[in-house]
Each structure stands twice: as structure tokens, then as C-alpha cells.
Chains A and B, each alone.
Chain A
Amino acid sequence: MRTFIVWMAGCLVVPLMTTLAMANGWNMPVGVTDVSREVHSLHMTIFWICVVIGVVVFGVMFYSLFRFRHSKGAKPAHFHENTLVEVLWTAVPLLILVGMAVPATATLKKMYDPSDADLDVMITGQQWRWRYEYLGEDVAFTSNLGTSREAISGAEERGEHYLLEVDEPLVLPVGRKVRFLLTSDDVIHSWWVPDLAVKQDTIPGFVNENWVRINEPGIYRGQCAELCGMDHGFMPIVVHAMEGEEFDAWLAERKEAAAQEAQGVDREWSMEELMARGEQSYNAVCASCHQPDGSGNPPAFPALAGNQALMDDRERHIDTVVNGVSGAAMPAFRSTLNPVEIAAVITYERNAWGNDTGDLVQPAEIAERLAD
């Protein structure tokens, strides 16, 4: 009897925990698109079906455990088959499954809606950041983790959006259909924002398609969902959804800013300027592998500090940063950083941490290399 009471108590704890947890928002978000709402209601429907089946099945089980105890002198019956019952408990679950499959199929078909989009965004996964490209708009940028290393190590207090903040969010318009084209530069990543109910793998060499039509302006956060190496846990996604007009203004501003930055290429930069700009970019994109002090993480990520071979070969240094290394974790930064940033990063790497080569790499030199 004692055993039984403990069992019952145990059984009560589980649904109690479930209800409590779900009430506290520990559940799939309803989200802000029609699709995400449907997915959420599908999830809840199936969850409740499972709960009902569970109550019935476990109910019968615990009743039997209680009622037919050996210690209370229960005498076993002798039946060991019953065709009718067996057919029934094969057929009834089958019917329940059909009942589940119907709404699931309908939702899935909606997700595969091929109608025309108002905006195309190319999303490229890269170890360990996201690159967003507004196709046909000449606006492209990289989105890096916005949380500081100090916060991760605990030296600094962790903010509300710890690990779910980026330097540049993906900005999208509300009410318009946005089509995503997803691919990757290196390994497989997965772009996931729960509030949009979009999770799509990015596969190197192949392109996947998905779409979203956001109903409410806001900031929605997500993460890479496919193990992609060392910093898989540190490549968040932030989507900033704004009203159409606001978005158009933002896009125009971005185009303007890109043009401005392009102008910076032509002028002569001083060592101090390049070092300052370089440190900023280095810490945003290079430090996760090569470490803030340039010590690297061999064998995958070579040290930069005191790397004499590299310091002796300025040309190779520039080539590696601009064009990357095939089949290794080193990407081609020509598609991620602009000439000013590339020049600054190389200058920084060649003069920081005691490298002191005194080399200056001007943005104009990089721009010339990239010119067609």
C-alpha cells in the first residue's frame, strides 16, 4: 500500500509540474505569424490528446496495480488474449492518428505556399555569425554575437538578453511576405526564430527556401539550432520587425551608409585610426577563434601573436584574410567585411600583441584587390 501511495504521488507530481511550467510561459511561443499560431495550436492539440490517452492508459495501469495486489490475496485470471479488444486497440489509435494528421497536413501545406514575395533576403550561415543580404537592394551586413566575453566568463554582469543579442539585427517589414534564401559558407547551420516558427538548415553549396509574414512589430530572438562547431552556442539571431514605412526608411539609410563607408576607402588612414577600427572588428569577428590576445587555438586556429611566418609574409596575410582558406574554418572575409574593416583588421593583427611590424595596410589597397 505504501508503494502504491508513493506511485500515485509521483504520478500527480508530473502533471502538476507540467501545468505549472506551461502556465509560467515554459511553452512553445504562440509567435507573431499566422503560421506560428497554427503550429502552436497544433502543438497544444496533440499535447492534450496525449494527456487524455495518458490519463486513460496510466489510470487503468494504476488501478490494476492497486486492485490486483498479490499481498491482498488477488488470484490471477487465466485469459491471455481477446481478439475483439486487440483489434479495437489497434483501430482506435489509428483513427486518432488520422485525426491528428488532417490538421497537420493542412498547416504543412500552408508553410509551403509558393506565392510571390515582396522582399528576398539571403541568409548565409558562417562559423559563427549570420550574414544577411537584401537581394537587389545592395544592402548586406553581418550579424555577430553582441554579448561580451566578460559577460560570458562572469567578469561582467549578464544583461537581460544575454547570448540573445547581436551587433546588427535583421530588419524586416511587418505585413509583407519576406522570402528567405538560406545557404552556408562552411558547415550546416540552422536559422531558427521561435516566434516566427521558421527553422531552416543552411547547407553549404545548396540553397533552401522559407518565408515569413510578420503580423506585429517587435524584436524577436533566436539561435543557431544545428551543431556547427566550437561557437555553435554563440551565434544568435535577432529580428527587428518594423512597420513598412519605417522599414523603407531604414533600407534607404542603409544604402546611404554603405555609400559613405565606400568613400572612406579612398582616403589615407592613420595608424591610430586603423588600429582603433581594427581592434573593434577583430574583437567582433576574429577573437572567437584566434582569441582576443591573438594566441589562437591550435591546431584548428593558428596563433597570430608571435606568428613570425605570417608577419614576414604581408602578402599571404592579406590573401588569407581576403580570400579565406578552402576546407578550413577560415572564411573569405571579402564577402563579410568591407575594405576599411579588412585593412584595419590586418593592420591591427600586424601591430598588436608585440607583433610590431609597423606595417600599414590602407583600405585603398584592399579595395583595389577586390575591384573587378
Chain B
Amino acid sequence: MSDAREAASRQGVRRTVAKTLFALAGMFLFAFALVPLYDVFCEVTGLNGKTSGSAQALVHEEVDASRMVTVQFVTRGSAGLPWNFEVETRQVRVHPGQSAEVEFAFHNRAETALRGRAVPSVTPPRATPHLRKLACFCFQEQRLEAGERLSAPLVFQLTRDLPEDVNTVTLVYTLYPVTRDEAPLQARATAGKGDEA
């Protein structure tokens, strides 16, 4: 192999390697970037029934009195948290545009103080972007002393642009124990999720 050719190909190899390493690093970061991107995507499209993690403003619009939508609430506990978690009204009927308030009751049955967080999920997913939470106990974790009871509200509004064929919206809250002191990394990395707000 002639020297000139060899030198040229060596330089080419170096350039190719540099480019591929750059692409590799980019793809590795991209994988992590997908995590917050996915959350944003979910919030915009309602995919997966994820609702916004922080309080939204009320949209001032005329109430659509011609239409009634049933909103159901389901509360669920989970392993490791001896709390009772109930909703006072299992379902409400609202007009789009109207805001409504529902009370949720927490009761720590344990003999120690414990923390819990309610994780929301909405179905059908198409309704999610049209469900605005003005106040929700799910925006932050709850800390209850031994035997303590707490009543916390959810204030929400279904906006008028809720798709025509959606007549029932179901909100499911699953109460999980919080065992760690620090905020989860992902929550910190994800702007606007505000789990610990």
C-alpha cells in the first residue's frame, strides 16, 4: 500500500470514528431526553391518562348547559401503606366549562407518621387534555400523623372542547407510600411535573 494512500485512509478512519462516537454520545443522551419528552408528549396528547402535575388556571368560558358529562372517581390503595383512602362522591355530573369540587378522605391507620402520594390516571386518554385540575391533593405528597385524618379537595373543570362523543370520564387515584427523603430524580429532571412542589 502506498504511503499516501495509507495516510489518507488512516485519516479517513479517524474521521469516521470521531463521527460515530459523536453519534453514539448523541443517541445515549437522546435516550435520556426521551424521558421528559415522553411526559410532555403524554400531557399534550393525553396518552396514558397522565394529567398535569401542577395546578392549572380556570378557563373562563361559558358553561355548556346542553351537555352533561359523568365524572367517576375511583380510589385505590397499595401495598405497604395502611391508610384508608376514600372519595366522598363516587361520581358527579357536570356541564363542560363548569368547575366542580370533590372531597377525598385520608386516614392513617398506622401507629406512626407516614407519607403517601396519590398517582392519578385518567381514561379515556382523549379526555385528559381537557381535564383541568385547579387544585388537587395529588400535586404533592401527604404526611399524616398516627391515626390522623385528612380531607382534601380536588377542584377540576372539563373544558368545552372535550370531544363530543366523550360522555364519561374516569379518574383513578392510586395511593402509594413515599419512603425516600429526596425527590425522585426523574421528577427533578422533568420541568413542570412538580411532584414535590
Contact = CB atoms under 8 A, between A and B. Distances in A.
Contacts of B172: 181, 183, 207
Which bracket fits the contact residues of B?
35 or more
Given A115-B165, A181-B172, A205-B174, A122 B82 contact: no
A357 interface: no
Interface in B55-97: 70, 72, 74, 76-82, 84, 86, 90-91
B160 interface: no
Contacts of B166: 114
B80 A324 contact: yes
B140 interface: no
A208 B91 CA distance: 18
Contacts, number: 92
A332 B72 contact: no
A330 B49 contact: no
Contacts of A334: 77
Nearest to A330: B79
B79 A183 contact: no
Interface in A157-215: 179, 181, 183, 185-186, 204-209
Contacts of A372: 84, 86, 105, 107
Interface stretch (B14-22, B28-36, B118-126, B183-191): B118-126
Contact of B170 (A207, A330, A332): A207
Contact of A326 (B79, B84, B119, B165): B79
B106 to A, nearest CB: 10
A331 interface: yes
A116 B170 CA distance: 12
Interface of B: 48-49, 70, 72, 74, 76-82, 84, 86, 90-91, 105, 107, 109, 119, 121-124, 126, 163, 165-168, 170, 172, 174, 176-177, 179
Given A116-B168, A135-B74, A332-B81, 18 more contacts: A114-B163, A115-B165, A116-B167, A120-B72, A181-B170, A205-B119, A207-B49, A207-B123, A208-B123, A326-B78, A326-B81, A327-B80, A332-B78, A332-B80, A334-B77, A369-B82, A370-B109, A372-B84
Interface of A: 114-117, 120, 122, 124, 135-136, 179, 181, 183, 185-186, 204-209, 319, 322-328, 330-332, 334-335, 369-370, 372
